[in-house]
Amino acid sequence: MSRERLSDTGRQLLHDFPALAKLRKLDRSNIDNVIALVDNCAAFNREHAEPVALELDERIGRDTDYFDWDLAREAGYHRLFSLVIPEVVGGLAGKYMLTAGYLAFEELCSCCAGIGNMIAATALGISPMITPGGLAYWDTILREIMEGEKTGKPVLMAYAITEPSAGTDVEEPDFLARARINMEAKKVKGGYLLNGRKVFISGGREAKYLTVCAATERDRPLDTWSLFMVEREREGVSVPRVERKMGQRACHAAELLFEDVFIPDANLLGQEGDGMATGILSIMSASRGAVGGVGSGIARGAFRHFLAWAREAKNGRKPIGEQRIQMALADMQSAVQQSRGLCLSHGLAGDEVFGALMINPLVKGLFSLPRAVRLSRPYRSFLHSSAGRVFTGQMLRVLVDEDELTHILSLASLAKFSATDKAVWVASRALELMGTDDSVHRRWVEKNFRDAKLTQIYEGTNQLNRLTHYLIELAGTLKVELPRPLERVGRD
């Protein structure tokens, strides 16, 4: 694609991000793939999200139970549930996985952050599976998700970490060590018995599969925090309620109850006790940048609607003719571009680790084995065995540099709290200036404001993200330490 033949979205991207334009000169086909992906999100917005977003938000405000499966189906046809599925198994995540993910979520959320979050919830649920501990699921669940996209039967996922008495506390090692944990995954013969509650789980009711973090010993949460794959339909899993949300309503937040839920050993992702390192810190070092993108997308949306409003005549005069409006527009654009710069920096830095993993020869080598071999009983038994868990854990330690990952986590936290705070600021500034006007643009900005507020809470509250950034960059006391599988003996 020459620059001239790019779509409007592509040209705008290269205009807004000179660094991306420069990178395209060096790595044309990969960057064109990123642009094509964002184009696809823009097409989804135009054709499916924009026409329904305002009504959907109002409808779910009245009827919290409603979920728009048609929209999920259309998202599937656009392959939006494959954004973080590795290319080696047929997904869209390649060399620029984080950059593309950030730009995709920004584009989606520039229209509707509720619909964007419905898609992001599945991406987050998938994330623990794309760590080497989840290799066994690449040929099964990840393929099922892609098959569901094609056939119009969306297979959704969710990621459950928050508990009624521990939200912030489960996202930082020192806090988790002292947290009051409600849920336990008790070791029993052949597997684990799950008991307890998870709350505010995005997409938790609609998900077919859940990735769940739980302690195997409640009084030693940090040392025993572990990751599990749980089928939503498994006996003992129920959804007592979904929340009445102020924003992002197209994606439900559900409470999940686990009552004597038996899961086999094979459903443990990685090794027992890996949860904080691989389940929280590694995943958040990727996903917080994407949530920054949710924020910059909402800010872009609010800015766009405010600009359109300012250009319309009110009582014979256009607000854009006034200097106070012109200055406000400049301030808003400055906020949007600052957010985007931080998110892009995180994406590009993060791709040195995450994107590199997607195209690593070792990973590619494993998936060049014939599929029949990868699905064979001995191969799968090996991946689920304690030797297999040690092998994949070691693989992670060989492929990922802890210092680099720690730096990426601090960039992710910075991008997340900055972009989401700015989203709230841009939407609220626009609302103040629009006053009581009843134009459709004001309705969008009012929704942007409600949607933005929630981004300050999830993926670690902005207070926690400030602390994480401080502890890494300024105090130097927080470091991501990957599991050391050889030091531990697994249980088979």
Residues that bind ligand FAD (CB under 6 A): 121, 158-162, 167-168, 171, 175, 200-202, 248, 253, 454, 457-458, 461, 463-464
Rounded least distance, CB 455 to ligand FAD, Å = 8
Alpha-carbon separation of residue 428 from 132, 306, 435, 448 (angstroms): 42, 11, 11, 9
Residue (224 or 468) nearer to ligand FAD, CB: 468
Could you tell me if 434 and 228 are in contact, meaning their C-beta atoms sit under 8 angstroms apart?
no
Backbone φ and ψ of 195, nearest 5°? -140, 135
Rounded least distance, CB 346 to ligand FAD, Å = 19
- The per-residue DSSP string of 248-262 comes to -TTS-EEEEEEEEEE
As a whole number of angstroms, the distance between CA 210 and CA 431 comes to: 38
Q: Which of 167, 157, 12, 37 is nearest to 95 (CA)?
A: 37
- CA-CA-CA-CA torsion sign (208, 212, 216, 217): negative
Residue (89 or 419) nearer to ligand FAD, CB: 419
Q: Name every residue whose Cβ is closer than 8 Å to that of residue 269 and which is 6 or more positions away in sequence.
A: 128, 129, 131, 133, 134, 211, 226, 227, 228, 229, 278, 279
Rounded least distance, CB 315 to ligand FAD, Å = 39
Long-range contact set of residues 363-372: C-beta below 8 Å, sequence gap at least 24:
363/86, 363/88, 364/88, 366/135, 367/88, 367/89, 367/138, 371/139
Residue (167 or 301) nearer to ligand FAD, CB: 167
Rounded least distance, CB 149 to ligand FAD, Å = 21
Rounded least distance, CB 196 to ligand FAD, Å = 13
Residue (33 or 64) nearer to ligand FAD, CB: 64
Rounded least distance, CB 202 to ligand FAD, Å = 3
The tokens describing 355, both together, are 């994107």
Residue (197 or 397) nearer to ligand FAD, CB: 197
Rounded least distance, CB 270 to ligand FAD, Å = 18
Rounded least distance, CB 45 to ligand FAD, Å = 21
DSSP SS3 for 388: helix
Residue (92 or 113) nearer to ligand FAD, CB: 113
Q: How many CB atoms lie within 10 A of CB 131?
A: 25
DSSP state of 210: E
Residue (77 or 175) nearer to ligand FAD, CB: 175
Rounded least distance, CB 390 to ligand FAD, Å = 28
Burial 215-243 (b: 16+ CB within 10 A, else e): bbbbeebbbbbbbbbbebeeeebebeebe
By Cβ distance, which residue is nearest to ligand FAD? 167
Residue (160 or 290) nearer to ligand FAD, CB: 160
As a whole number of angstroms, the distance between CA 62 and CA 77 comes to: 28
As a whole number of angstroms, the distance between CA 384 and CA 235 comes to: 22
Residue (94 or 154) nearer to ligand FAD, CB: 154
